[in-house]
Amino acid sequence: MTSPLPSVLDLAPVVPVVVIEDAADAVPLARALVAGGLPAIEVTLRTPAALDAIRAIAAEVPDAVVGAGTVISAAAIADVVGAGARFLVSPGWTESLLDAMRSAGVPFLPGVSTTSEVVALLERGVREMKFFPAEAAGGVPYLKSLSGPLPQARFCPTGGISLGSAPSYLSLPNVGCVGGTWMLPADALAARDWARVESLAREAAELRAR
């Protein structure tokens, strides 16, 4: 039995956001990311292969902490947790989705993009959130402006973040980690170049707040 996670935000500076088209790629991809120092892996529910990918990673890559992303319905939550997902990430939230995530028994990061959404979650006792879409919603300046009035909120910004911009996010006191895809270039995935993915993951894992 796996132990509970203390916080998704503290596992690594970067959470890879993975879209898997072929479930057969899930295990070697996860192994490459873990070997590079990125154990928390968000598998998005955007493809028919996602559930099988989560199941395979959970069963065959014990050092990975696999989670489900793009969680937008309560109906999907039981399936992904049953498949082995250890955390949940949504691009946004509603009352019913929040209730379902709370009941799942695993950590969750509901998505926000406005101050009002942050305050609403804080009212409900939720302090850890996904900030999405990060760059389009105001990026580093926006999150920096939230740290004064709302210091109790912590974020995983995701959306448009690159190796170059990640350090600016990670330097903020209210950012625990960032989500990104830059360590998963399409050509490397198409070629199943897991060594390149591992190298890019290692570069990302070395990012630290300054």
Catalytic residues: 42, 130
d(CA 27, CA 35): 12
Per the CB < 8 A criterion, the answer to whether 160 and 182 are in contact is: no
Nearest to 85 by CA among 77, 75, 94, 93: 77
In sequence order, the 6+-apart residues with CB closer than 8 A to the CB of 106 are 5, 67, 81, 85, 86, 87, 88
In sequence order, the 6+-apart residues with CB closer than 8 A to the CB of 123 are none
What's the residue count for the chain?
Answer: 210
- Burial (Cβ within 10 Å: 0-12, 13-18, ≥19) of residue 28: middle
d(CA 48, CA 124): 33
Spell out the alpha helix ranges (H) of 36-114.
50-60, 74-83, 95-102
d(CA 189, CA 197): 8
